[in-house]
Chain A
Amino acid sequence: MRLRFIAFIIASVVVAVLSPALPRAQMKPWNNAGLTGPPAASSAPAPRRDLSGVWDAGQGGIQPTGYNVAALFTPLGAKMAGANKPGNGPRIADVSEDNDPLSTLGDPAGFPRVVLYELRPFQIAQTPNQVLMLYMFEKRWRVIWTDGRALPSDPDPRWYGYSVGRWEDDYTLVVQSVGMDDRTWLDNAGNPHSTSLRVEERYHRVNQNTMELTATIDDPVMYTKPWTPINKLPIRLMPNDTDLMEMITSASDALAYRREIASQAKRK
């Protein structure tokens, strides 16, 4: 009996000593908000035709002021821009007049604004015929078809458009998108786009830990020539167990902001 008791004590001690492995496994971090500094580089080679993982551009992914593209406006582009009352950029409006559909109504950011302005951490997953972009911002996703299909010729507009991608080489995915809903803004400066907008994104994987993004805007209805708001933006691979936060600008949150802050901040 005494031996059994001693054996029980020894077994309990062994379990107690070994048990930290279990709590450690259960103590994975949640709600990762992303990088605090610029992405770090790595010299390890990149895998071929593979962008899967959780990625973060850090502060570089956020362009709070938008872009000053007034010199490129067509007459219609200037007119449409004038109707937008942004909270930022060269045409900044009073907060009480701000009509940014994202922050005042809780509308979707849409594409390409989710990339041009709110490129917060995001995950890329790949299937045999798709590349999926899963964004922390708004907790939304895009499907990029890599099965060789053509873009639709006269699509019904979507908040996030229609996208196809092809591997230009083993490390560069080129994505073309059309059919974006023209209720969305391009950026925080209230720059408009039409449903004729075409966007090219180039995701170039430099090495294991880093890829670069270049995005080009081509909308002849609003702009006299294409422009490139993002040029070789470095984006860092995050640990594969990264749990991203939600970042959803809900309609009820936007309403609370209008009630508590914007409505009282009006200029006299």
Chain B
Amino acid sequence: MFFSVSIAAAGLLLLSVPVVAHHGAAALDTGKEITLKGRVTEWIWSNPHCFLKFDAKDDTGTVRNWAVETQNPTTMTLRGWSRTSFKFGDEVTVTVEPVKNGEPVGRILHVILPNGQKLIAAAATTPASTPPAPEPAR
């Protein structure tokens, strides 16, 4: 079956640079991963975050249009992504960290392109610590 949805392992924690930048992870079901196969409808290369839209069927057979974000173009460029990474109709396998409310929205962890290339966007969210106020350096 071309379209399929599978719930992948939960709680996968990878060490990485922080993935949270302009927008936080408060709405995300952190630690949960969903892998979806679908067709690209739009790839938006913009600040503050790029996002990919694609159609995928859920377990009931209903097609939903997902909107999943990455980081900004400069960060994604450093990770090997580009404005032309996707085109309309591309068949892709997208692993996302979804939002908690069940809407087809989330953050991309990685994507497998039609040619088999894997593009990594981010590690699963880890609790981010905020540094305390440093003392004046004199």
Contact = CB atoms under 8 A, between A and B. Distances in A.
Contacts of B47: 247-250, 253
Interface string A108-122: 000000000000100
Given A216-B136, A245-B74, A256-B46, A264 B103 contact: yes
B48 A95 contact: no
Contacts of B49: 257, 261
Given A34-B78, A69-B133, A214-B137, A103 B23 contact: yes
Interface stretch (A13-21, A41-49, A85-93, A173-181): A85-93
A238 interface: no
Interface stretch (A143-151, A152-160, A224-232): A224-232
A117 to B, nearest CB: 9
B27 A94 contact: yes
Given A31-B77, A264-B99, A227 B48 contact: no
A87 B51 contact: no
Contact of B137 (A90, A93, A231, A257): A231
Interface string A230-256: 011000000000000101111001101
B20 A68 contact: no
B137 A64 contact: no
A53 B24 CA distance: 34
Contact of A93 (B26, B28, B51): B26
B99 to A, nearest CB: 4
B92 interface: no
Nearest to A216: B136
A226 B135 CA distance: 8
A65 B137 contact: no
A64 B53 CA distance: 25
Interface residues of A, number: 59
B113 interface: no
Contact of B48 (A86, A245, A253): A253
B72 A247 contact: yes
A227 B74 contact: no
B61 interface: no
B134 A227 contact: yes
B133 A64 contact: no
Nearest to B18: A64
Interface stretch (B3-11, B32-40, B124-132): B124-132
A136 B46 CA distance: 15
A249 B24 contact: no
Contacts of B62: none
Given A64-B18, A100-B22, A266-B27, A34 B134 contact: no
B27 to A, nearest CB: 4
B24 A253 contact: no
B137 A228 contact: yes
B67 interface: yes
B134 A95 contact: no
Interface string A184-221: 00001100000000000000000000000010100000
**Complex A-B, nearest 6 residue pairs according to Cβ-Cβ distance, in ascending order:** A87-B24, A69-B133, A265-B27, A33-B77, A253-B46, A103-B22
17 contacts: A65-B129, A87-B23, A89-B24, A92-B24, A95-B27, A100-B22, A103-B23, A103-B48, A228-B134, A228-B136, A228-B137, A257-B49, A260-B53, A264-B103, A265-B105, A266-B101, A268-B102
